[in-house]
Structure 1
Amino acid sequence: MQMTKIEVLYPETCNLFGDMFNIKLLEQSIKDVEIINTNFTDEPAFVTQNVDMIYLAPMTERTQEEVIKKLEPYKARLEELINKNTVMLFTGNAFEILGKYIENEDGSKVQGLGIMDLYSKRDMMHRYSKMYLGEMEIEKGKKIKILGFKAQFSMTYGDNQEYYAFETIRGDGINKENKFEGIRLNNCFGTYILGPILVNNPFFAKYILRLLNVKDTIEFEDIAIENYQRRLEEFENPATKYE
Structure 2
Amino acid sequence: MEIKILHIFDDLMNLYGEYANVSIMERYLTDLGHKVTVDKLSLYDERDISGYDFYFMGSGTESKQKVALTQLRKHEKALKAACEQGIVMLFSGNSFELLGEKIVDADGKEYQGLGFDRFVSVEGKKRIVGDALAVFNNDVLVGFINKCSKTSGITSPLFRMKMGFGNDQDKGDEGFCKNNCFGTHLTGPILIKNPAMLRMLAEKIVGKVDSVVKYEYMERSYQTTVEALEKRLSETK
Same fold per superposition (TM over 0.5): yes
Quick check: 177-186 or 33-42, which moved more? Answer: 177-186
Describe the superposition over 1:97-131 as per-residue Cα deviations: whole angstroms up to 9, x where unpaired: 111111122322111111111011112x3111011
Deviates more, 1:73-82 or 1:126-135: 73-82
Summarize the alignment of residues 1-243 of structure 1 with structure 2, pairs less than 5 Å apart: 2-31=1-30, 32-43=35-46, 45-46=48-49, 49-123=50-124, 125-137=125-137, 143-158=138-153, 160=154, 162-176=155-169, 179-213=172-206, 215=209, 217-218=212-213, 221-238=215-232
Letter of the 1:232 counterpart: V
**Change in 2 beyond 3 A, CA 1:237/1:115:** same
Q: Secondary structure at the match of 1:117?
A: coil
- State the one-letter code of the partner of 1:233: E
1:222 Cα deviation from its structure 2 partner: 2.3
Corresponding letter in the other structure for 2:38: I
Structure 2: 5+ residue runs without aligned partners? none
Percent identity over the alignment is 27
| TM-score where L is the length of structure 1 | 0.88
Q: Residue by residue, what CA displacement relative to the aligned partner does 1:10-40 show, whole Å, maximum 9, x if unpaired?
A: 1111101011111111121222100011111
Cα distance per residue 1:54-94 (max 9 Å; x no partner): 10000122221222222223323222211111100001100
Corresponding pairs, count? 230
Structure 1 runs not aligned, ≥5 long: 138-142
Greater helix proportion: 2
- Distance in 2 between the 1:28 and 1:116 partners? 32
- In structure 2, how many angstroms separate the alpha carbons of the residues matched to 1:169 and 1:87? 26
